[in-house]
Chains A and B, each alone.
Chain A
Amino acid sequence: MDFTMNLKRLLIVLVASVALTACAAQKKTGMMTGDVYTGSDTVEYLATGVKDRVFFATNKSTLTTAARDTLRKQAAWMRKQKKVSVTVEGHADERGTREYNLALGERRANAVKDYLMTYGISGSRISVISYGKERPVNSGSTPLAWSQNRRSVTVKVK
């Protein structure tokens, strides 16, 4: 009897810890780290392996490690495609006031532009525009949706 009970308990503990590990794994690599979106939904590509956008934490314009990695690839792509010019769009989620979000979008777009320039891309090839919270990519009202909207998108100018 005792042996079966212990076995049952052990099984429960084992199943629970596997489930918990899966959960923890999801929090880090699945959708968001903190409130920065880390997923690949909504992401498009400028070229193979070159993501077109980076994501931000609420009220922030600092570039995460993942963001800098994406932008280095964008810079490498722009160094190869010497004739390409881009517009960097800055966006904010709708959980803030409209005018401040316009300014925040501009700050985010410039954070990207500055980083690209440190990798040798001339500023004359990069223009900047802020859309504040006017162009959400996800119309949901959840933290996940908002994290997808806090973004800076690099768009090739035709």
Chain B
Amino acid sequence: MKKLIIFFIFLFISTSNALIEVDITRGNLDPLPIAVSPLHNDPSSQTIKSGDQIIEDVGAEISKIIEVNLKRSGLFNPLKKESFVQKPDIVHIKPRFEDWKLIKAQALVTGKTIISDDKLRTEFRLWDVVAAKEIVALAFSTTPDNWRRVAHIISDKIYERLTGESGYFDTRIIYVSETGPKTQRYKKLAIMDQDGANTKYLTLGNELVLTPRFSPTNQLVTYLSYFRNLPRVYLLDIETGIQEAVGDFPGMTFAPRFSPDGKKIIMSFAKDGNSDIYTMDLDSRVVEKITDHTSIDTSPSYSPDGKYICFNSDRSGLQQIYVMRSDGSNVKRITFGKGLYGTPVWSPRGDLIAFTKVFKGKFYIGVMRADGSGERLLTENFYQEAPSWSPNGRVLIFYRETKTDSEGKGFTAKLWSIDLTGYNERLIETETDGSDPSWSSLLSK
């Protein structure tokens, strides 16, 4: 995938208080009615060839992606285009706010595109219909085949301006694609845009692959592979396709993640029945042992400032969540509730830790504060696990499996997402079954 270079030609974001704003903590109780006008295409534009697709009206396509993003967030209610009165070219210059108030829009998105000299130039404006003024104006220049990312970046700008939070639409999801019967699952690493487009497979499926994670720069991925029947942590460069085993460990390494600065891999190493947490510096290749206990220590996750690590340990007898300093000192247990706790993941906002809980045969996805207080269970299911945070710490993606019937049939594994509020639980469409999802950081950072 080519590096995306976006030139911001001009930027205007009003800092005065708008009358419209979206309260992100109230979930989708009151989605903000927003009108997304198709972006006007300059008639002189060349058509875009995207793979084997020909995009005739990129302005309309961009507006559709924006609508889907905003709707899926649960915070916005994109209004139906049939009710729009003003044409895309005119409304972008001067909206007649009365027309838009009539259909109950509170926010309005307009824009225009032109493709010339092999460049896609896009302008967009966000308007506060109630206050009758422009509140964001942005222009981009990029290569035409990046047109979907333009839509995602615009979506993020809208989201940011109206919620006060950074967005999560210009991101990708890496996951394990699954096919085949439950007793012989065929697994491949897959990557896609967060809206499901542009799915690509990164491995061939010849060996078992599990638990992939992005680096903070999104160019590298770490995961577990059973290549040559030796389960080890690997690094994969998404752009070059080059893979290498991480370190030279005389036993299984697994559960890998990157440190927040991208310089280290943290993982578990299992030997003689004991699993401890280790780090390896990717430059110096120096390996450090972080936990030293006869229990199983796994699923480590750094706090966003890199100072702490939360992890899963059964040192008290059963799986619980612990927090320690990143040098391994000061280990503290933080879960004391009934049941088992696993897969702790620290929010990019630093405030919460998401986890999987198993209690009385049911699986829960939940969140708690970093000291273990304020435990909140968001969703319950026969089987689900492994939450991963969106980069703004507001949405969790995880996976679910279904029961099989008495003939062992009917097994599926699917990706799901849910908001931190517990609302907006949603199936994520994938080309095949999927598991072990992990969310990238914002691509435009």
Contact = CB atoms under 8 A, between A and B. Distances in A.
Given A106-B273, A140-B408, A99 B312 contact: yes
Given A129-B229, A136-B183, A141-B404, A114 B342 contact: no
B106 interface: no
B270 interface: yes
B206 to A, nearest CB: 15
A110 B271 CA distance: 9
A134 B185 contact: yes
A121 interface: no
6 contacts: A61-B273, A99-B298, A99-B299, A111-B273, A130-B231, A138-B408
Interface string A98-119: 1110111011011100100000
Nearest to A87: B229
B340 interface: yes
B318 A99 contact: no
Q: Which of B252, B343, B385 has the most CB of A within 10 A?
A: B252
A139 B298 contact: no
A106 B270 contact: yes
Contacts of B183: 135-139
Q: Which of A94, A97, A145 has the most CB of B within 10 A?
A: A97
B386 interface: yes
A139 B182 contact: yes
Contact of A100 (B224, B342, B403, B409): B342
A139 B356 CA distance: 23
B299 A94 contact: no
Interface string B401-438: 10110101101000000000000000000000000100
Interface in B267-323: 268, 270, 272-275, 296, 298-299, 312, 314, 318-319
Nearest to B319: A100
Q: How large is the interface on B (under 10, 10 to 19, 20 to 34, 35 or more residues)?
A: 35 or more
Given A103-B296, A114-B273, A129-B231, A98 B408 contact: no
A96 interface: yes
B270 A59 contact: no
A156 interface: no
Contact of A95 (B252, B358, B408): B358
B386 A110 contact: no
Nearest to B382: A141
Contacts of B252: 102, 106, 129-130
Q: Which of B270, B361, B386 has the most CB of A within 10 A?
A: B270
B181 A139 contact: yes
A59 to B, nearest CB: 7
Contact of A97 (B182, B208, B299): B299
Nearest to A90: B273
B84 interface: no
Interface in A73-96: 94-96
A104 B314 CA distance: 10
Contacts of A137: 183
B173 interface: no
B383 interface: yes
A136 B270 contact: no
B275 A103 contact: yes
B126 interface: no
A156 B385 CA distance: 34
A36 B252 CA distance: 26
Nearest to B275: A103
B124 interface: no
B255 interface: yes
B150 interface: no
Contacts of A97: 299, 312, 319, 342-343, 356, 358, 385-386
B171 interface: no
Contacts of B318: 59
A94 B312 CA distance: 17
Contacts of A110: 272-273
B203 to A, nearest CB: 15
A100 B275 CA distance: 10
Contacts of A106: 252, 270, 273, 275
The 8 tightest CB contacts between A and B, nearest first, are: A110-B273, A97-B342, A139-B408, A139-B182, A141-B403, A103-B275, A103-B296, A106-B270
Contacts of B272: 110
Interface string A31-56: 00000000000000000000000000
A71 to B, nearest CB: 15
A94 B386 CA distance: 13
Contacts of B231: 102, 129-130
Nearest to A112: B273
Nearest to B270: A106
Interface string A129-157: 11000111111110001000000000000
Contacts of B319: 59, 96-97, 100
A140 B182 CA distance: 9
B299 A134 contact: no
